[in-house]
A = this chain, B = another copy of it.
Amino acid sequence: MPLADANLRTRIDGRRARLEDELTGSVIPFWMKHAPDREHGGWFNCLDRDGTVWDTRKHIWLQGRAVWMLSKLHAELEPRAEFQVQAKSGAEFLRDHCRRPDRRVWFCTTREGRPVQLQRKIFSECFHVMAMAQYGRVFGETWAEKEAREVFGWVLEAINDPRLAGRPREEGEPPSKGLAVPMIVLNLIQELDGGFHGPHAAEARACAAEARRFLRRERKVVLETIAADGSDLDSPEGRLLNPGHAIEMGWFLLDYARATGDEAAAKDALDAIEWSLDRGWDQVHGGLYYFLDEKGLSPAQLEWPMKLWWPHCEALVACAKAFEHTRDRAWFERWVRVADWTFARFPDAAHGEWFGYLDRQGAVSQRFKGGPYKGFFHVPRALLLAARALGAVLEPRSFAAPETVKKT
């Protein structure tokens, strides 16, 4: 039901409008102007503060994510010829240059699409699947849907046999599992099946259950890595917290829980978000830490205290979706706290888009807008999804169409 409190409604609507302005006035124009490679196809992803290309190589995580985002905006923000043209350019670059006959996907190629690097991980393949599934559905390109299912097959095989990705587990390494796997597979199923009730419904249920095994309710934390049997690992990996990642898992799981009516999963999702926001927030300088050690030791990751754009993006989505689901005003106030810190530091009013990497104090540490791991993805996804969730609180049906499609 819509909120009755008029002051609160005004505040929420102002915030929602600010998100849409940022998306359509700053973020989309920056990328549409600077990223397209009109000569060789696909998108440049290494863009300096003013949009200048600082590395012409293409990092395929970002190629896939941009194709997904362009297709999503076409379907859910507004249909635009430029979204379709650019999504097609990226999808065909992926198809023609990035996917190998053995269903593996390069991590990095030259501007022209010649291979530079293969990762010993599954994520290039995952973002390829994400891109192809969304692009295929939005634009009716059946070849892309087929491509998505083929590469998804490899992902499922590689999860069960890490040697396929080229990194065998050595004998002294304790069997373990990472939060990323059930998260990303859940997300890919949502993309492939258009929700959680399609052909992969059983796998989706298994992924949601698996993701929930990383929660430690008595300690109010979400672990990043656990033993293969689900117990704690007594090692730096076992103590590692990645608050932004746990928050992202939270809203993936909340989407699943709402679509399937799974109340217990929804409670876990909300707790994962709340714990990770509390634990991850820097009480001195504000913002979310990148990594923490659960027992308060120093993480080995040198960048642990930095404030990265993407955990803040995930928090904007997660708190907005939690507010939409619960209608509990505390979630809106959490959202405001994250948004105020974020909007005061990450957006670049001079050139558009957001900075990605701030130091612990919140000053810009890397001036570029796009790099090997930052592209046209987390910022526009967060602005779109958070705006939709805040809008849904005000007028329950107005933005519900895409969610409804997903849930059927």
A305 at the interface (CB under 8 A from B): yes
Residues of B within 8 A of A115 (CB): 170-173
Q: Tell me if B172 and A298 are in contact (CB < 8 A).
A: no
Contact partner of A303 (CB less than 8 A), chosen from B57, B114, B302, B360, is: B302
Docked Cα-Cα span, A302 to B371, in Å, equals: 11
Q: Tell me if A110 and B172 are in contact (CB < 8 A).
A: yes
Residues of B within 8 A of A300 (CB): 366, 371-372
Q: Tell me if A305 and B170 are in contact (CB < 8 A).
A: no
- Within 94-126 of A, Cβ neighbours of B (below 8 Å) are at 106, 109-110, 112-118
Bits for A302-323, please: 1 = Cβ < 8 Å to B, else 0. 1111100000000000000000
Nearest CB to that of A360 among chain B residues?
Answer: B359
A143 at the interface (CB under 8 A from B): no
Contact partner of A302 (CB less than 8 A), chosen from B114, B117, B118, B357, is: B357
Docked Cα-Cα span, A365 to B302, in Å, equals: 8
Residues of B within 8 A of A54 (CB): 236, 297
Residues of B within 8 A of A118 (CB): 170
User: What's the nearest-Cβ distance from chain B to residue A68, in Å?
Assistant: 23
Q: Tell me if A117 and B357 are in contact (CB < 8 A).
A: no
Q: Tell me if A170 and B117 are in contact (CB < 8 A).
A: yes
A367 at the interface (CB under 8 A from B): yes
Q: Tell me if B117 and A173 are in contact (CB < 8 A).
A: yes
Docked Cα-Cα span, A236 to B227, in Å, equals: 38
- Within 278-307 of A, Cβ neighbours of B (below 8 Å) are at 297-300, 302-306
Docked Cα-Cα span, A173 to B117, in Å, equals: 8
- Within 32-67 of A, Cβ neighbours of B (below 8 Å) are at 46, 48, 54-55, 57
- Within 362-387 of A, Cβ neighbours of B (below 8 Å) are at 365-368, 371-372
Q: Tell me if B302 and A116 are in contact (CB < 8 A).
A: no
A160 at the interface (CB under 8 A from B): no
A398 at the interface (CB under 8 A from B): no
Q: Tell me if B172 and A302 are in contact (CB < 8 A).
A: no
A235 at the interface (CB under 8 A from B): yes
Nearest CB to that of A113 among chain B residues?
Answer: B172
Residues of B within 8 A of A302 (CB): 302-303, 306, 357, 365-366
Q: Tell me if A367 and B298 are in contact (CB < 8 A).
A: yes
Which of A116, A298, A299, A305 is packed against the most chain B CB atoms within 10 Å?
Answer: A298
Residues of B within 8 A of A235 (CB): 55, 57
Nearest CB to that of A110 among chain B residues?
Answer: B172
Q: Tell me if B55 and A236 are in contact (CB < 8 A).
A: yes
Given contacts A55-B235, A55-B236, contact A114 B298 (CB under 8 A): no
Q: Tell me if A114 and B172 are in contact (CB < 8 A).
A: yes
Residues of B within 8 A of A117 (CB): 170, 173
User: What's the nearest-Cβ distance from chain B to residue A194, in Å?
Assistant: 35
Residues of B within 8 A of A112 (CB): 172
Which of A46, A304, A360, A366 is packed against the most chain B CB atoms within 10 Å?
Answer: A366
Nearest CB to that of A298 among chain B residues?
Answer: B366
Docked Cα-Cα span, A389 to B173, in Å, equals: 44
- Within 224-238 of A, Cβ neighbours of B (below 8 Å) are at 235-236
User: What's the nearest-Cβ distance from chain B to residue A361, in Å?
Assistant: 8
A–B Cβ pairs within 8 angstroms, 14 of them: A55-B235, A57-B235, A112-B172, A114-B171, A115-B173, A116-B173, A118-B170, A297-B368, A300-B371, A302-B302, A302-B306, A302-B357, A302-B366, A304-B365
